[in-house]
Structure 1
């Protein structure tokens, strides 16, 4: 999916300046405790399924939309895993962003995992003992998601 219209409209006003956005991330687990990952088209790295919350959307609903748009997988949200502000970053076109990210544990329901839009180069299920290189934040999110009664992770100081 292309850049959301509301971001393009904001970029017309602020150019490449830092834009604070709400991000959503899914730790999608199947019945075999495999994790659904996407290899991003923008940087080529494997990651949990990411997305951007659009105005008026509820975070869990938006995440399910993103998972289906990017991977053709239907899932259900089970619980919140973490809430954190990510460091500022930039896209190849120079746009500066910083995300408040809400990460959720999700359970696979149906669908064959595949590349379903232009945001991913690959989509695949990975066993927990054979994950590709992920960020420390994503690794922590997966670990937290594995324990059903774990409280959401957040920075306390």
Structure 2
């Protein structure tokens, strides 16, 4: 589902003006330490799994849902890795959005990755030292923060 119903409803009132939304993302690792990435249909860039929180949804549950919806795999959240704010994003239809992103480290439990929805054209595992050159800048930062393996989550001070 590319645009959740609650956002579609908001857009009917505010048009393309900027929206501030809560988002979640995850650096998903398999047993060998490879990272699960999706090739986004909208930007054509590789990226970590991400999505929008539904009203009242818990962030950790939201990212587990997003991982399954987008990649067809089951994963479990290991820990919170970072909290940051994206730059303003302008989508092809003119909608503007900025996200507060809560990023998690997650571990693959089961399932073979595949594009499970229309948001992505490919889903693959990548070794941390062989990430694709067209990896989204925000994803590169989230991966770097998650792989630091620090006990405390990163946030801008």
Same-fold call, TM cutoff 0.5: yes
Matched residue, 2:14:
14
Q: 2:27 touches 2:36 (CA, 8 Å); kept in 1? A: yes
Measured after TM superposition, the shift of residue 136 of structure 1 is 4.0
- Whole-Å Cα distance in 2 between the matches of residues 139 and 15 of structure 1? 31
Q: Does 1:111 align with 2:111?
A: yes
TM-score by length of 1: 0.95
- Whole-Å Cα distance in 2 between the matches of residues 146 and 54 of structure 1? 27
Q: Does 1:102 align with 2:102?
A: yes
- Whole-Å Cα distance in 2 between the matches of residues 40 and 2 of structure 1? 11
Gaps of 5+ in 2: none
Structure 1 stretch 142-151 or stretch 34-43: which is displaced more? 142-151
Q: 2:41 touches 2:118 (CA, 8 Å); kept in 1? A: yes
Q: Deviations over 1:62-92 (max 9, x none)?
A: 0000000000010000111100111111110
- Whole-Å Cα distance in 2 between the matches of residues 84 and 42 of structure 1? 22
Q: Does 1:142 align with 2:143?
A: yes
Q: 1:144 touches 1:150 (CA, 8 Å); kept in 2? A: no
Residues matched between the structures, number: 156
TM-score by length of 2: 0.95
Q: Deviations over 1:26-78 (max 9, x none)?
A: 10000010000000001100000010001010000000000000000100001
Q: Which runs of 4+ in 1 moved over 4 A?
A: none
Matched residue, 1:72:
72
- Whole-Å Cα distance in 1 between the matches of residues 15 and 128 of structure 2? 41
- Whole-Å Cα distance in 1 between the matches of residues 138 and 89 of structure 2? 15
Matched residue, 2:92:
92
**RMSD over aligned Cα, in angstroms?**
1.1
Matched residue, 1:125:
125
